[in-house]
Amino acid sequence: MSLLLNSYVLVKASPFMLLIIIPLFIILNSFSGIKPAGTKKLRLKICNHGTLLLTIFVCSLIPSLIWHIVLAFLTIPDTYMDLVWSIVYCIVASAILFWNGIICVYCTSTQMGIKWRVIGALCGMIPILNLIVLTRIIKLTSDEVDFEIEKEIISSSPELSEICKTKYPLVLIHGVFFRDNKLFNYWGRIPRTLKLHGATIYYGEHQSALTVKESARELASRIKLIVDRSGCEKVNIIAHSKGGLDCRYAISEFGLGPYVASITTVNTPHRGCLFADRLLYAIPETVKNKVATVYNTTLTALGDEQPDFLAAVSDLTAEACQKRNEMLTFPEGIFAQSIGSVMEHPHKGQFPLNLSYRYVKNFDGENDGLVGESSFGWGEKYTLLRSKGPRGISHGDVIDLNRENIRDFDVRAFYTELVSDLRSRGL
């Protein structure tokens, strides 16, 4: 490849060489790495293509530099224009290679996130630093492609095609301030993985911000409708954050119990979220009302019927949760379990939970960036997730909200094991 980028002298000596060099350059920029073994995903193919082009670009820099130093000794001062045109030729060809690669990875990589896209853009014109950042981007996207292909190969294994085929279908319940959306799934890559392993999945499809009581009313109606239309008799609920409180209320107060085989709450603040307490009592009334107005107006435009930001947050306080816990009942015959996670060193985590973690830790100890660990446990089985690495697992990480591959915690494998366990229980 370095020969193609530095072939000006060869072309000058024999212009017909362009008939070979140009097609080769076009083929390289169009098809290199476009068919990695083990995947049918177009996104991964394009990401791998871009990663390979950027790798070639970086690897060709030193040979190009050495060649032009040699060329300088051979051409200066007599034919220095050959050096100038060779440099221009090399820069143009390298620029095409670079921009092709960087556009491909920017448009397809999930692991770069906003952080590395911004860093790459800001450092692009700073010598040396831009190469360091580019090397980091190549490492990120290369690891992403390898990891995703490995997951795809595992998911397509015939032996694993039904390990998540539970007796009753799954209903995934989102937390507060989110909606179920086909374009951006709240549960990240988890549903697709579970479906590949045989799971049948439905969603709560409730509004983003209501009181626990009103969300429970919506969910009770929705789940009864799922059971009625599908004939499945019961469902296995997996509920995140406030969704767990909503489902408990629906089971206790809206007659949902006979329709539920199991309920798994994920990072649910069963004993309250002290962060919500601090937000409600520390922020001035005028500021809270302005935030609530903006949120309610925006979500109404996006489809919510009557969003109520302040009511939703108020129902997450320790006092509100304590009153509900004293009131709610839970029928026998439903398998109930809870899951929680904690962050360790959040500086490597996603914004804004990496910042809120430190604040919450001051008054609520170990936490996931929003909820203290002491609030997660509920039901007959409690699982606390920790990662062995320096990152930890945040409130968003535990549902794959950011689609980030976290070292020492494979979120898709965790949910596969979770649902497989429900299957083994006959649920």
Q: Report how far residue 297's alpha carbon sits from residue 264's, in angstroms, rounded to the nearest whole number.
A: 32
Under a CB-based contact definition with an 8 Å cutoff, are residues 371 and 273 in contact?
Answer: yes
Answer with the residue of higher pLDDT: 156 or 98.
98
Which pair of structure tokens corresponds to residue 16? Answer: 């017909």
- Let me know whether 274 and 311 are in one domain: yes
Which among 153, 168, 185 is the end of a domain?
A: 153
CB count, 10 Å around CB of 164? 25
Across 100-114, 323-337, 341-355, least confident range = 341-355
The predicted structure's pLDDT at residue 77: 80
- Let me know whether 208 and 284 are in one domain: yes
Sign of CA dihedral 45, 156, 230, 415: negative
Answer yes or no: is pLDDT of 216 > 80: yes
pLDDT digits (tens, 9 = 90+) for 99-139: 999 999 999 999 998 888 999 999 988 988 999 999 999 99
The predicted structure's pLDDT at residue 121: 92
Answer yes or no: is pLDDT of 159 > 90: no
The predicted structure's pLDDT at residue 372: 93
The average pLDDT across 67-84 equals 84
- Let me know whether 165 and 29 are in one domain: no
pLDDT > 90 in the chain, percent: 59
Under a CB-based contact definition with an 8 Å cutoff, are residues 316 and 176 in contact?
Answer: yes
CB contact burial 401-425 (16+ within 10 A = b; e otherwise): bbebbbeebebbebbbebbbbbbee
CB count, 10 Å around CB of 53? 26
Contacts for 399 with CB less than 8 Å, ≥ 6 apart? 186, 187, 188, 190, 240, 266, 411
Whether the model pTM is above 0.85: no
pLDDT digits (tens, 9 = 90+) for 48-59: 999 999 999 999
Q: Report how far residue 368's alpha carbon sits from residue 419's, in angstroms, rounded to the nearest whole number.
A: 23
CB count, 10 Å around CB of 127? 7
The predicted structure's pLDDT at residue 145: 93
pLDDT digits (tens, 9 = 90+) for 262-318: 999 999 999 999 888 888 887 888 888 888 899 999 888 888 888 999 999 999 999
- Let me know whether 279 and 165 are in one domain: yes
- Let me know whether 219 and 300 are in one domain: yes
- Domain span holding position 111: 2-153
Strands 235-240, 170-173: pairing is parallel
The average pLDDT across 185-191 equals 93
- Let me know whether 126 and 195 are in one domain: no
Which among 117, 137, 153 is the end of a domain?
A: 153
Burial label, 351 (beta-carbon count in 10 A; 0-12, 13-18, 19+):
exposed
- Let me know whether 198 and 296 are in one domain: yes
pLDDT band at 349 (very low <50, low <70, confident <90, very high): low
Strands 170-173, 335-341: pairing is unpaired
The average pLDDT across 315-339 equals 95
pLDDT band at 17 (very low <50, low <70, confident <90, very high): confident
Burial label, 180 (beta-carbon count in 10 A; 0-12, 13-18, 19+):
middle
Contacts for 184 with CB less than 8 Å, ≥ 6 apart? none
Which pair of structure tokens corresponds to residue 139? Answer: 């490492």
- Let me know whether 95 and 179 are in one domain: no
The predicted structure's pLDDT at residue 399: 96
Which among 133, 153, 173 is the end of a domain?
A: 153
The predicted structure's pLDDT at residue 346: 66
Answer yes or no: is pLDDT of 16 > 70: yes
- Let me know whether 58 and 202 are in one domain: no
Look at the chain and report how many structural domains it folds into.
2
pLDDT band at 74 (very low <50, low <70, confident <90, very high): confident
- Let me know whether 35 and 117 are in one domain: yes
- Let me know whether 287 and 346 are in one domain: yes
| 368: nearest Cα among 115, 112, 376 | 376
* CATH code of 265's domain: 3.40.50.1820
The predicted structure's pLDDT at residue 347: 65
pLDDT band at 43 (very low <50, low <70, confident <90, very high): very high
Answer yes or no: is pLDDT of 73 > 90: no
- Let me know whether 202 and 64 are in one domain: no
